[in-house]
Amino acid sequence: MWAKLSFLILICDSAIPSSTQEVEIPQGKLRGDTRTNRDGGVFYSFKNIPYAKPPVGKLRFKAPEKAESWYGVRDATEELPQCLQILSSTSQGQEDCLYLNVYTSELPNDDVRSKAVMVYIYGGAFMAGDAREETYGPQFLLTKDVVVVILNYRIGIFGFLSLDDPNLGVTGNAGLKDQVLALKWVKENIEYFGGDPTNILLFGHSAGAMSVHLQLLSPMSEGLFHKALSQSGVSLSPLISKDLRNNAAIIAKYLNIQTARWPEMLNTLQEVSAENLVNAERALNNIGYPHLSLPIVEITSSNISTFLESEPVKIIRSGNFKKIPYLHGFTDADGLVIFSEVNDDGVSPLISNITQYIPLDLKITPQSEAEQNIVQKFKNFYYKGEESSRENITGDIQFFTDYAFAYPHYRVTVEQLKKTSNPIYLYYFSAITELNGVNPLNYQGVGHGADVNYLWYTGKTSQLGSIEDLVSRNMVNMWTNFAIYGNPTPKGFNYTWEPVQENHIKYLHISNEGFFLEENILQDNLQLWSDLYKKYYKSE
């Protein structure tokens, strides 16, 4: 269906020589670069802008505070730093990391209308990731009439440490509160870059997508964005927990901090070197604490703002979430993310014990008859009654895709439909091209994060008219059209992406053959999970 042409799109990702641009915002003046997008159009880049005070010393682990002003002209041409994070056996980044990048095709003047704003939150399991341009180049998105913002937020223990004493101001979710403060900065400053503060899309991937959905549910970000988009991640993921409220005690014990008093523990943890904290978290990950740093349901207190007061499903069912247009979806093999490690038998060590993937909110007693029944259902459906092995690796991939992505996205759709009349759009991505990159095991499916490469420039070029080019341009058209109008179907497209309706869960299938509106995505798989929740889920 897609025709191929013989010449390349060459993307210029370097600044035009001797071409800078200044913008003045309430904090001070910024000097940025003039750049070109993938079609040769000009845009302006302003990087490394502080939106919060450095979260160090007594601000470590706490909600962020608004950044201060500066004198003179701040150089906004240098890349922002990474937040401290664990990468394999090393760590990188710095604690002073709460900065953002802004990209715009036009600066404000009397002849230019304000543009829709797209604010992006990166993924990385709340343990890794950053907003640097080498990973998220705006050259694709800025072929359209939008302003793009991408922000850093604290990850790992720095962003998600929590104490059981709410009076100390460390109730968890500091990284999510960073996102809120960044959104406030955008609301207050984006007009100076040609953006419309009344037309903001919040979007993200993986942990960033989950963050977007959590922001949809949180009262803290009320009025700060007007549309939301989640790629491969929602708040009904099995990862949200109340059981991490004492993660500070786990870290303190490992560091041999010998006190049970929360104030003393906090003071000591704020004095420990950042490097020692990162090393402690890495060591705990390696000995059986793989998820110490995740969003939690916070302990509420009258004297501090709470980001997440209740379990996400309860918030959705109460109707107390933002009633705005929402677009979300996942790839056909998001579950490949489980194969970042494979043992000698070709089996993911994470999935070899399938009992650990019975969702915690089903509250199944270990080694009970109910647990045995559920495990047998999984084995019968995904493995034809056998164990996970190299020979039936497809079962592993599909199981984890359904467990962590397909069913949570489906469940969010069904639950939110009951409480909102605003449109919800669903997609399913299966296009396999050179932009996808290499996935583990050379599996014929679209792995976790591959779809992001169609929206952000990562250094790869594509032939004009190739499948990857056409998929990328169509996705950019739809994502930016959704940002501008709240509807992902641009004028002149040969199909209409319809929102889902109760009993008609339609989705846009993005494939090598084209873009098709289909219904009843993964019907048998989702019915299995729906039946389990219908039988075992009991709301507290």
Q: Give catalytic residue positions.
A: 206
Q: Is 22 helix (H, G, I), strand (E, B) or coil?
A: strand
H-state helical runs in 287-339: 312-318
H-state helical runs in 310-449: 312-318, 369-383, 393-401, 407-417
Which three-class secondary structure string do you get for 36-96?
A: ECCCCCEEEEEEEEECECCCCHHHCCCCCCECCCCCCEEECCCCCCCECEEECCEEECECC
Neighbours of 394 (CB within 10 A): 15
What is the residue-wise DSSP string for 97-143? Answer: --EEEEEESS---TT---EEEEEEE--STTTS----TTTSBTTTGGG
Backbone phi and psi for residue 471, each to the nearest 5 degrees, phi listed first:
-65, -45
What is the residue-wise DSSP string for 172-215? Answer: S-HHHHHHHHHHHHHHHHGGGGTEEEEEEEEEEETHHHHHHHHH
Q: Which helix (H) or strand (E) holds 277?
A: helix 274-286
Q: Tokens 């976790």 appear where?
A: 448
**Using N-to-C axis directions, what is the helix angle for 274-286 and 247-254, rounded to 10°?**
100
